[in-house]
Structure 1
Amino acid sequence: MRVRTSKSSALSTAGAVVLAASLLVTGCSSTKDKKEGPTGSSGKELTATDRLTEAKKVLDGTPGYHFKLQGTDVPKDSSGVLSGEGDVIAKPAFKGTLNVQAGSLAASVPVTSVDGKTWAKMPFSAKTTTINPNTYGAPDPNVLFSKDKGVSTLLPQTKGAKLGGKLRDGKDIVQEITGSLPGSAIKAVLYMGDGTGTFSVKYGLTDDNQVRSAQVIGPFFKGSDKTRYDLTFTNYGQTVDITAP
């Protein structure tokens, strides 16, 4: 038996086929053109080096943040910082605690840095006095958090920067970036090492280029190239009142 097809029915079927094909092509095009990472003002996807340059701008531009430093495999006979934590504002100014080691002596020292000076309450002292942190093998917070000489300057100095995997940081996903830094940069900023050698680095950046973490491994101390320092940056945008004691 022969089935007759009306002209309007045939046109309707043809239209449906064309529409489906159009949707299929559009879907494929959207998938192909979708960017896999953040883009710059030009719309071009940012490279690892671009991301680190943007991360410096973000860190320098925030009113404040919380900072933490943790050392691993610090030689027991060395003099230097073991760990530290505190709040930073854009003056720059810092208020927190540094855990330092001088030979066999280790101590937790409350520190305030503002207006180019640093105050600390040293062990066995009843008073808070001005100090030079470099004397104790610790970085000066007035330099460490400055825009032109501080930790943010390490980001764009990173050599051979490469995008790695992505990891979860609380509610955010961070992009891992690896590379290396020259010993001269580490010495200038962290006041550790002898200014030579190469340090491996690994950063974690959010999609809006907030650097959340930085891991640095290398010859911070003579005779050891495995010492590691982990830096974390949280609470972007916070402001706290930091004044001289």
Structure 2
Amino acid sequence: MRVRTTQTAVGAIALSATLLVAGCSSTSGKKTEPTQSGSRPPTASQRLAEARKVIDGTPGYHFKLQGTDVPKTSSGVLSGEGDVIARPAFKGTLSVQAGSLSASVPVISTGGKTWAKMPFAAKMSEIDPNTYGAPDPNKLFSKSQGVATLLPQTKDPVFGAKLRDGKDIVQTVTGTLPGSAVKTVLNMGDGSGSFTVKYGLTDDNQVRSVQVVGPFFAGTAKTTYDLTFTNYGQTVDIQAP
């Protein structure tokens, strides 16, 4: 009887130890193993929202604008390039077309005003960009009305291909923009219709490129404007002339 009692006690102890280990393993697993059910990659809309924060938050960047299939008899901007700081202020060159005439002019915009050195002029003078069908740099680069506001206004954004941009890989996001948004930002189009848009975003949500395609000019079904953004974080000295 003593032997059986001893064997029973040993068996009970072993069973209890087994259950205890199993219970601790199960509980420990629940505490240390991360759950994946709530971890989802950001949607295209969320990526665009984060990209707006990045471009709005940077001290400055370098900007390029290139138009394709701009009607030869229309007034508008053909291309442009320059430096932007967050004040906002812009210093660079814009190539504009007014009817059959075109010119590349140095431009400075700051404090809500824009100056340009027109062809054959001795110095810069204040101008109204609307006169030349060009976007006002003071608005184009502002946080409230500028190019960054296009990102959250993009309809039905979806991820596209991943492309190489120098040493970086960018994620493309495509969608559509209402004509009213394009008119407000780029000062082109009649404010109606729909435009297709494609963005290129880096892994840290820098906007590297924006391509907008649509009816920018009356009687022309499709004109393309490509915008590129580089040198995030740079600052330059931009003063009124």
- Taking structure 1 as the reference length, the TM-score comes to 0.82
Counterpart residue identity of residue 54, structure 2: V
Select the residue among 96, 99, 106 that pairs with 2:95: 99
Counterparts in 2 of 1:6-17, with a 5 A limit?
none
Partner residue, 1:183: 179
SS in 1 for 2:50: helix
After superposition, what is the alpha-carbon deviation per residue over 1:146-176, rounded to whole angstroms, capped at 9, x for unaligned?
Answer: 0010000001100010001100000100001
Select the residue among 25, 50, 57 that pairs with 1:54: 50
In 2: Cα distance, 1:135 partner to 1:48 partner: 37
Q: Answer with 90-99 or 114-123: which moved more.
A: 114-123
- Residue 238 (structure 1) aligned with residue 234 (structure 2): yes
Partner residue, 1:229: 225
Partner residue, 2:197: 201
In 1: Cα distance, 2:101 partner to 2:177 partner: 30
In 2: Cα distance, 1:189 partner to 1:212 partner: 18
Counterpart residue identity of residue 179, structure 1: G
In 1: Cα distance, 2:208 partner to 2:218 partner: 29
After superposition, what is the alpha-carbon deviation per residue over 1:35-77, rounded to whole angstroms, capped at 9, x for unaligned?
Answer: xxxxxxx853110011111111000000000000000000000
In 1: Cα distance, 2:124 partner to 2:137 partner: 16
Partner residue, 1:159: 155
Unaligned residue ranges in structure 1 (runs of 5+): 1-32, 34-41
Q: Which has the larger radius of gyration?
A: 2
- Residue 128 (structure 1) aligned with residue 127 (structure 2): no
Select the residue among 61, 74, 77 that pairs with 1:78: 74
- How far off its partner does 1:96 sit? 0.1
After superposition, what is the alpha-carbon deviation per residue over 1:102-121, rounded to whole angstroms, capped at 9, x for unaligned?
Answer: 01100001000011111101
In 1: Cα distance, 2:74 partner to 2:128 partner: 18
SS in 1 for 2:152: helix
Q: Percent identity?
A: 77
Q: Provide the aligned length of Structure 1 versus Structure 2.
A: 206
Unaligned residue ranges in structure 2 (runs of 5+): 1-35
Select the residue among 137, 140, 143 that pairs with 1:141: 137
From the superposition, tell whether residues 165 and 103 of structure 1 become closer, same or farther in structure 2 (CA, over 3 Å).
same
The 8 Å contact of residues 219 and 226 in structure 1, kept in 2 or not, is answered as yes
The 8 Å contact of residues 217 and 225 in structure 1, kept in 2 or not, is answered as no
In 1: Cα distance, 2:72 partner to 2:181 partner: 24
In 1: Cα distance, 2:214 partner to 2:45 partner: 21
